[in-house]
Homo-oligomer: A and B are copies of this chain.
Amino acid sequence: MSALPQPVLVIGTGLIGTSLALALRRCGVVVLLEDRDPAALAVAVQRGAGVAAVPGDTAPGLVVVAVPPAATAAVVGQALDRFPTAVVTDVASVKVPVLRALLAAGQPVDRYVGGHPMAGREVSGPAAARADLLDDRAWVVTPHPGAADRAVAVVQELALAVRALPVLMPPEEHDRAVALVSHAPQVLSSLLAARLLDSSETAVSIAGQGLRDMTRIAASDPSLWVEILAANAAKVGDVLAAVRDDLDRLLAALEVADGTGATVLVDALRRGNAGRQRVPGKHGARPAPTVELPVAVPDAPGELGRLFAAVAAAGVSVEDVRIEHVLGRPTGVVEIAVAQPAAEPLAAALRDGGWEVRG
């Protein structure tokens, strides 16, 4: 049972709306559902996400708008009109345009606080929804100067009720943050991957883990991403323009790479080192230094299980893991990242156990 004002009305029973509703039902919250598509609504009801709202319902204490980005501001505005005492929030992935539209329309934004649960999936629709979609995910809650303290508290409570981790951030800061850590990386991954279209099969065949990592998110859905980029165009543009300026300097340096340019190149690489150290590790905090141990693992069922059982038997906690992909042969190297002090003892223990720890 949760301290949320009830019932909660979820408008929009797509993937996020339905998953959220299922998560609220999981902790006993009364959930009303609306969707302009009766078929989507029926699926959500059938999944157990709540009941379809009808005119005689008790007025909701909280309304969550989970409709596509372009429709969000209008639906939030209608909800503020329809339910004069309810707190209203939304889940759009860009926050400033929603708030700006509400202010321009003269809406009472004291009861509105936006949010952004950070749980993208490559699927959509209520059939793909799951009660645990938001478990352990960051949910950015974006208070603004006109918001009532209670509204902020209710939206934080919503995030906690569905087992997400609320992070407070003003709308401007949120949009700048996602431009930097999510939207600009998406664009750079896509542009790099697009360069591969011009290359020979052989050239691509010698690619290693670096290229694989750099192009993974290039597989994302274009129709979703064009909406996100359009909604956050100015801030994404700021980050990418800075990258473009750095790239121009670097291109100039490459033309004189043996001489004066080398300083520019080294500086860019060093700044990259420093920036990378700011990326959070396994526990969200500043990462402790880790070491990667490459272990050869036969490509047979059970070998990964044997390996991680051996790691556990050595009493070592795994910080990260990735499989090295190797040209033309079904033999893999698994890179196990562990805290620096654990690396040497683990390597010794694995070798004692007959594992081939490399290089």
Interface residues of A (CB under 8 A from B): 19, 118, 120-121, 123, 128-130, 132-133, 135-138, 140, 165, 167, 169, 173, 176-178, 180-182, 184-197, 199-200, 202-208, 210-220, 222-223, 225-226, 229-230, 233-234, 236-237, 239-244, 246-248, 250-251, 254-255, 257-258, 261-262, 265-266, 268-285, 296, 299, 301-313, 315-323, 325-333, 356, 358-359
Contacts and interface: CB of A to CB of B under 8 A. Distances in A.
A322 B210 CA distance: 14
Closest 6 CB pairs of A and B: A190-B272, A130-B359, A305-B309, A193-B275, A177-B203, A222-B269
A307 B304 CA distance: 9
B312 A304 contact: yes
B244 A244 contact: yes
Contacts of A230: 257-258, 261-262, 265
Nearest to A132: B358
Contacts of A236: 254
Given A193-B271, A305-B312, 5 more contacts: A173-B202, A188-B188, A226-B269, A240-B254, A305-B305
A10 to B, nearest CB: 17
A184 B195 contact: yes
A286 to B, nearest CB: 9
B325 A323 contact: no
Contact of A247 (B211, B243, B302): B243
Contact of A213 (B140, B217, B220, B250): B217
A191 B239 CA distance: 11
B130 A223 contact: no
A272 B317 CA distance: 36
A204 B192 contact: no
Nearest to A168: B202
Given A140-B206, A193-B276, A273-B219, A240 B251 contact: yes
Contacts of A242: 195
Contacts of A321: 304, 321-323
A323 B222 CA distance: 25
